[in-house]
Structure 1
Amino acid sequence: MAKQALIEQRPWLLASLASATAFYFLSDNPIFEGTWGILAKGASVGLLALYVLLRVPHNRHGLDGVLLVIVLLFGAAGDVAIELDFVTGGALFAAGHCVATVLYVRNPRARHSPSQKLLSLALLVATPLVSYFLSGRVEVAIYAAFLGMMAASAWYSRFPRYRVGTGAVLFVVSDWLIFSRLGPIDLGALPDLLIWPLYYGGQVMIATGIVQCLRGEQPVR
């Protein structure tokens, strides 16, 4: 059932993947950089929002679907804005994290093992601490508090942990690589190679995992 759902909407997912791939491999191309590159970057997650809009059943899970669409639209807007102004892009992502937290809190998991509770707490606390360690900037740590709140609530929600929770963790790691560019720790070429694949892969896992769960096509794990 889940595979069939992906096949039925594959034009939007494939278009999203094509945009993400083009941005990753062609962003340094003189012909592609600038406006075209920014548009491809924004379209990557923007098309995921369209996928969600078409796939979530509006009669049963209308508000959850709307919240997820808003989260992805904030992400797409942040992707574009951060190319022009780092602070504006961060503010848009922080707003998206707040909406995502509302979505996850609305969908609590019935039972949690002690280890999963500890992992959620670790994400909440470690995300801003590591972000500050990497960047040395208080404003980055403040943003990362929203990021950690999103990741912790995603892991604590009823959505599949090894899709949605893992996707949120990939988002956190991607941002850590961004923050490493601002501080004294030199990670060489790793940020350039991994930031976009980790971020975009995380967004895909979050979007498809939640949609399939809301449609009853993905069991809670």
Structure 2
Amino acid sequence: MIAAFWSVAALAAIWYGLAHAGGGGGWRASVVKTISTAALARAGLAMGAPGWVVAGLALGAAGDFALSRPGTRWFLAGMGAFALGHLAYVAAFLGSFGPISAPGAMGWAIIAPLLALVLSTEVWLAPHTGALRWPVRGYGLVIGAMAVAAVLLPTGAGQAAMRAGAALFLASDLILAVRMFRLTDAAAQGLAGRLLWPLYWGGQALILWGAVAG
């Protein structure tokens, strides 16, 4: 059954990436996109993944559905679901794999640019978000916390995969922010959508894979 859940997730992700990631598709796209992450959550249950990781994946599936629907209300619902998902990953990274690691010089060399990146959104992103400025600011803080928590993961099996997954997730959210609030050309928006999808889904899959290994 575990292999079946992974297969469904991967096939749905490929289908969505090839047919719908650039935009459009209506309800069919929404269903396929949601299945691609919901099946990962189900695989996590079958594999005995930590509850917080399964919760993060399930909230990601809810966010996938909401963001695939048109309108500001759906966008805010999706942002809220993903914010809760990131907080679930923070709880997992800090509490499900043993005592957290002290950052050390290498850790701070990663954390410092992450903090600078979050602060920089006040310059290149926030002024372009209009009425959504405060929700976007809050979301930026939450995903920054998730990335820092990944840096603090204790040394062990699965640590590298989870950190890589968190990095891909962060990259996908940055591209999404640029696509939503900075790009105006339809072709560029479509290209950004096709680029962010494998980063996002691959990040989710790596977090799950590393969590089970850990």
1:57-108 deviation line (CA, Å, top 9, x unaligned): xxxxxxx711111111000000001122111100111111112111111134
In the alignment, structure 1 residue 37 sits paired with structure 2 residue 29: yes
Give the match for residue 77 of structure 2: 88
Counterparts of 1:147-158 in structure 2, within 5 Å, are: 147-158=143-154
Please, which runs of 5 or more residues in structure 2 have no aligned partner? none
Conserved 8 A contact 1:68-1:100: yes
Q: Secondary structure at the match of 1:109?
A: coil
Task: Tell me the amino acid that sits aligned with residue 147 of structure 1.
Answer: I
Please, which runs of 5 or more residues in structure 1 have no aligned partner? 1-7, 57-63, 214-221
TM-score scaled by length of structure 1: 0.79
Task: Tell me the amino acid that sits aligned with residue 10 of structure 1.
Answer: A
Conserved 8 A contact 2:22-2:191: no
Give the match for residue 139 of structure 2: 143
Conserved 8 A contact 2:45-2:54: yes
Give 1:110 deviation, angstroms: 4.0
Q: In structure 2, how many angstroms separate the alpha carbons of the residues matched to 1:51 and 1:117? A: 34
Give the match for residue 212 of structure 1: 213
Give 1:143 deviation, angstroms: 0.8
Give the match for residue 217 of structure 1: none
Q: In structure 2, how many angstroms separate the alpha carbons of the residues matched to 1:211 and 1:149? A: 22
1:110-157 deviation line (CA, Å, top 9, x unaligned): 454311233134324423534762453333222111011011101211
Give 1:161 deviation, angstroms: 4.2
In the alignment, structure 1 residue 164 sits paired with structure 2 residue 158: no
Candidates 20, 24, 34, aligned match of 1:27: 20
Q: In structure 1, how many angstroms separate the alpha carbons of the residues matched to 2:178 and 2:33? A: 21
Give 1:185 deviation, angstroms: 5.7
Counterparts of 1:114-153 in structure 2, within 5 Å, are: 114-127=105-118, 129-130=120-121, 133-134=124-125, 136=127, 137=129, 138-139=133-134, 140-153=136-149
- 194-203 vs 110-119, greater mean Cα deviation: 110-119
Conserved 8 A contact 2:29-2:68: no
Give the match for residue 87 of structure 2: 98
| Shift in CA distance, 68/209, structure 1 to aligned 2, threshold 3 Å | same
Q: Secondary structure at the match of 2:50?
A: helix
Give the match for residue 59 of structure 1: none
Candidates 92, 109, 131, aligned match of 2:100: 109
Candidates 16, 25, 38, aligned match of 2:9: 16
Q: Report the identity percentage.
A: 25
Larger RCO: 1 or 2 (CA < 8 Å, sep 6+): 2
Q: Secondary structure at the match of 1:191?
A: helix
Task: Tell me the amino acid that sits aligned with residue 138 of structure 2.
Answer: I
Task: Tell me the amino acid that sits aligned with residue 12 of structure 2.
Answer: S
TM-score scaled by length of structure 2: 0.81
Candidates 46, 59, 74, aligned match of 2:38: 46
Give the match for residue 4 of structure 1: none
